[in-house]
Structure 1
Amino acid sequence: MSHPPLRSAAKQRICDAALQHFVTYGYDGASLNQIAEMVGIRKASIYAHFANKDALYLTLLEDAIHAENEFIRSCFEAAHALPGQHYCESLKQHYQEAWHFRFLLRTAYVPPDSLREQITRLYNAHLALCQQQITHALAEYDAGLAKMDYLSEAYLGLVDSLHVELLYAGTARFDVRLQAMWQLFATALQQHLSP
């Protein structure tokens, strides 16, 4: 299990302020001047910690992915009725509470063009972890399910649908989407359980 790097208090304050600022304004609308004002420093002081806006943004992305990987692991470790259910049911509250999750979704689905390749590589690694977790959970639930690769792909499609709902519609209709998508996935699992 990897841990985020240790940082000075000043660098962490910049990261905390920048995270909220990027979530609110996006990459293009974000301003290092405004981030500096939020922290109570001069813009030049940001450059003592980060080479430029891209470096700050990628640092936040790495932090967000680390936090989300840990969240996924914890959700899959929790006992629940069906594999992957706890993660899906936790997303709404997690989105409301976790700035890094909102940042990750916005970054993954609306990446700045200049960083698209790096973001795609990092996000795909994150999705691979999610797929590993569901594949393992399916195998533990029923050995026969582990042989059906399309179930883990279907689960990623379900998760993607929930992420898109949160990003573009917020939490208002999340429960409706979750219920519909989860019913389809649960039905598919039940149909393929070993006799």
Structure 2
Amino acid sequence: MSNLVRSAAKQRICDAALEHFVCYGYNGASLQQIADMVGIRKASIYAHFTNKDALFLTLLNDAINVENQFVDYCFAKQENLPGQCYCDALKQHYQHALHFRFLLRTAYVPPQHLAQSISALYSEHLKRCETHISSALKQHSASLDVAYLSRAYLGVIDSLHIELLYAGTADFDKRLDAMWRLFATALH
């Protein structure tokens, strides 16, 4: 949820729309079906959002805010190696967090007409991850090539995100183990 206070009606629309967009994507989503899920007329959605794009971008901003908080939380925890907590938490987070599933689907398969806006927002989220890992790497060892390893870590994250998005959680542990071993080796 964003930091803004919303009316209960607007929040119900956002909650239903989030679930609907996760299931059907932007192109498959229907404002009529979202209205039906909430138990309102479709026209009532327009009292809160100018159009489907405005609703979608509101949900994207919410997802970015929620996921930024999740990244902050993971990097604040003590861990064996820099960035490990976030990687270890991804599978369970994907299974339980609609915002995360929405963010991944939106970032990797954006509606074409919103791709530039989505890319800019997602890039800011990744920059936050990079800032966290850079800080953690500096604390881990002064002799590391922080810029190089930070980019490698983002590659690990990309790989894990794509595994979740396209393959689900079935083989995630194998991908995590392989990617994490490579990254951990680079740290030593």
TM bucket, shorter chain: over 0.9
Q: Aligned letter for 1:148?
A: V
User: How far has the Cα of 1:33 moved from its partner?
Assistant: 0.1
Distance in 2 (alpha carbons) for counterparts of 1:26 and 1:181: 29
Distance in 1 (alpha carbons) for counterparts of 2:34 and 2:146: 47
Equivalent position to 1:159, from 151, 157, 160: 157
**Equivalence map 1:64-103=2 (5 Å):** 64-103=63-102
Q: Aligned letter for 2:150?
A: S
Conserved in 1, the CA contact under 8 Å of 2:134 and 2:146? no
Distance in 2 (alpha carbons) for counterparts of 1:121 and 1:149: 21
Identity across aligned pairs (percent)? 67
The answer to whether structure 1 residue 136 and structure 2 residue 135 are counterparts is: yes
Conserved in 1, the CA contact under 8 Å of 2:137 and 2:146? no
Q: Which runs of 4+ in 1 moved over 2 A?
A: none
Q: Aligned letter for 1:46?
A: I
Indicate the SS of the match to 1:83: coil
The answer to whether structure 1 residue 185 and structure 2 residue 179 are counterparts is: no
Distance in 1 (alpha carbons) for counterparts of 2:146 and 2:89: 25
Q: Aligned letter for 1:119?
A: I
Indicate the SS of the match to 1:143: coil
Conserved in 1, the CA contact under 8 Å of 2:138 and 2:146? no
> Please, what is the CA RMSD of the aligned residues?
0.7
User: How far has the Cα of 1:51 moved from its partner?
Assistant: 0.3
Indicate the SS of the match to 1:76: helix
User: Structure 1 length normalisation: TM-score?
Assistant: 0.95
Indicate the SS of the match to 1:144: coil
Query: How many residues get paired?
Result: 187
Distance in 2 (alpha carbons) for counterparts of 1:174 and 1:27: 26
**Equivalence map 1:85-124=2 (5 Å):** 85-124=84-123
Distance in 2 (alpha carbons) for counterparts of 1:181 and 1:4: 34
User: How far has the Cα of 1:165 moved from its partner?
Assistant: 0.1
Distance in 1 (alpha carbons) for counterparts of 2:57 and 2:135: 30
User: How far has the Cα of 1:142 moved from its partner?
Assistant: 1.2
Partner in structure 2 of residue 4 of structure 1: 3
Distance in 2 (alpha carbons) for counterparts of 1:7 and 1:144: 48
User: How far has the Cα of 1:109 moved from its partner?
Assistant: 0.2
User: Structure 2 length normalisation: TM-score?
Assistant: 0.98
Structure 1 residue runs without a partner (length 5+): 191-195
Q: Aligned letter for 2:181?
A: Q
Indicate the SS of the match to 1:171: coil
User: How far has the Cα of 1:72 moved from its partner?
Assistant: 0.3
User: How far has the Cα of 1:148 moved from its partner?
Assistant: 3.1
State the Cα deviation string for residues 59-90 of structure 1 (Å, max 9, x = none).
00000000000000000000010000000000
Q: Aligned letter for 1:134?
A: I
